Copies of this chain bind each other. A is one copy, B any other.
Amino acid sequence: MGARAAAQGIEDEVKIDRAPTTLLREGASEAGDDTQMRARFEKMIRAAQDEICAAISELDGKPFHEDAWTRPGGGGGISRVLQDGNVFEKAGVNVSVVYGQMPPEAYRAATGEEGASKEMIPFFAAGISSVMHPHNPMAPTVHFNYRYFETDAPKGAAGAPRAWWFGGGTDLTPSYIFDEDVSYFHQTLKDTCDKHDKDFYPKFKQWADDYFMIKHRGERRGVGGVFFDDMNDRSKDDLLAFATDMAGAVVPAYVPLVAKHKDDEFTPEQRAWQQMRRGRYVEFNLVYDRGTTFGLKTGGRIESILMSLPRYCEFQYDHNPAPGSREADALDAFKNPRTWCA
């Protein structure tokens, strides 16, 4: 075990030539119902990875590169990256299965349980996460992440987990706002949410507007979408179905927007604005994003975690768009979230 990983309690990953049938611990699929959800969730995210990578690769004309790894005690991941493509500067889709130890504060924050335990809580997490950055400044960046979390049964006790929850979200980060595109994106997410609960979209849209905030700037990284966390107020089957549909909505919500704008003309100034917004994306991810900061601190595979960072970005001192410009309109949308669909 390397010094970095040992300090953080997760074993070093071991690169493997080919993704295995399952990243779960051996024998896991023969245990009870809860383990079944682990297996069903892994199956869902791996199918979503296949489907989404196929659609993006078809649009780009270039294949994804795949890296797979496992850890000696169980768990692992599959990262697929398309870098320096024809349409995308960088597009990455990760799936990972982690058996780790979570600080008790994190457990309490997630579950709302009081308890003053100081012991680390063993957890299981499986998820798919992705960020895709196109070249063209008129084509937006997308991010999505769907995850299933369990904390292990207490030591010595067999059977059910102590707590479990689902989380996820899909959000759009354009450099320039095309109203009809953003409305289409939000509407596609809303239609998917509505199939499960009419309250989901308004609640999760607000949550995304709150979550994707670059607090030190008082602006969001983009125009949001949906975000939710710590969800366990209905059956696992219902939540799996919801996560499955949301992952399935990524291609229809996003791919048409890139197809439409991938060959748009643009000026060097528009490229510079895009690069500056990519810098803001970096600020958000490294300072605030829970997945990123959690991953960096718990010894996850760094290259997979930071796959989300854009291929190129810029940091200009005190850049302020001209009043009335398209850049000013975009900044206004990032500062004052709009209603994108009824």
The interface of chain A, by Cβ under 8 A from chain B, is: 2-4, 67, 81, 83, 90, 92, 215-218, 275, 279, 282-283, 286-287, 293, 296-297, 302-303, 305-307, 309-318
Chain B residue at minimum C-beta to C-beta distance from A303: B318
6 nearest interchain CB pairs? A309-B315, A286-B286, A216-B296, A303-B318, A81-B317, A4-B218
B215 touches A4 (CB 8 A): yes
Partner of A83, one of B2, B307, B317: B317
Q: Would you call B218 and A2 a contact (CB within 8 A)?
A: yes
List 22 A-B residue pairs with CB atoms under 8 Å apart, sorted by A's residue number.
A4-B216, A67-B318, A81-B318, A90-B317, A92-B317, A216-B296, A216-B305, A217-B302, A275-B312, A282-B315, A283-B306, A287-B287, A303-B317, A306-B315, A307-B317, A310-B315, A312-B312, A312-B313, A312-B314, A313-B313, A313-B314, A313-B315
- Complex CA gap A305/B318 in Å reads 11
Q: Which residues of B contact A303 (CB under 8 A)?
A: 317-318
Chain B residues whose C-beta falls within 8 Å of the C-beta of A309 in the assembled complex: 279, 315
Q: How far is the CB of A282 from chain B (nearest CB, A)?
A: 6
Q: Per a CB cutoff under 8 Å, which of B83, B216, B302, B313 touches A302?
A: B216
Q: How many subunits of this chain does the assembly comprise?
A: 2
Taking CB atoms, residues of chain B closer than 8 Å to A293 are 287
**CA A287 to CA B311, docked complex, whole Å:** 19
Measured between alpha carbons, how far is A2 from B90 in the docked complex, in Å?
37
Chain B nearest CB, measured from A293 CB (Å): 8
A215 cross-chain contacts in B, Cβ below 8 A: 4, 296
12 further A-B contacts with Cβ under 8 Å, apart from A2-B218, A282-B315, are: A215-B296, A216-B296, A275-B312, A282-B286, A287-B293, A287-B296, A303-B317, A303-B318, A306-B315, A310-B315, A312-B312, A313-B313
Nearest CB of B to A243, in Å: 26
Please measure, in the bound complex, the distance between the C-alpha atom of A314 and the C-alpha atom of B90, giving whole angstroms: 11
Query: Which residues of B have CB within 8 Å of A217?
Result: 302
User: Bound state CA distance, A215 and B5, in angstroms?
Assistant: 10
B residues in contact with A311, CB < 8 Å: 314-316
Alpha-carbon separation in the docked complex, A313 to B282 (Å): 11
Q: Given the complex of chains A and B, what is the CA–CA distance between A3 and B287 in angstroms?
A: 20
Bound Cα distance from A316 to B302, whole angstroms: 12
- Report A141 CB to chain B, min CB distance, Å: 13
Contact B218 A83 (CB under 8 A): no
Task: Chain B residues near A316: list those with CB within 8 A.
Answer: 83, 311
Q: Which residue of B lies closest to A309 (CB)?
A: B315
Q: Which chain B residues border A313 with CB–CB below 8 Å?
A: 312-315
Quick one: closest B residue to A314, CB to CB? Answer: B312
* Chain B nearest CB, measured from A88 CB (Å): 12
Chain B proximity of A196: nearest CB distance (Å): 34
Nearest chain B residue, comparing its CB with the CB of A310: B315
Residues of chain B within 8 A of A310, CB atoms compared: 315
Which among A216, A217, A297 has the greatest number of chain B C-beta atoms within 10 A?
A216
Q: What is the CB-to-nearest-CB distance from A134 to chain B, in angstroms, rounded to a whole number?
A: 15
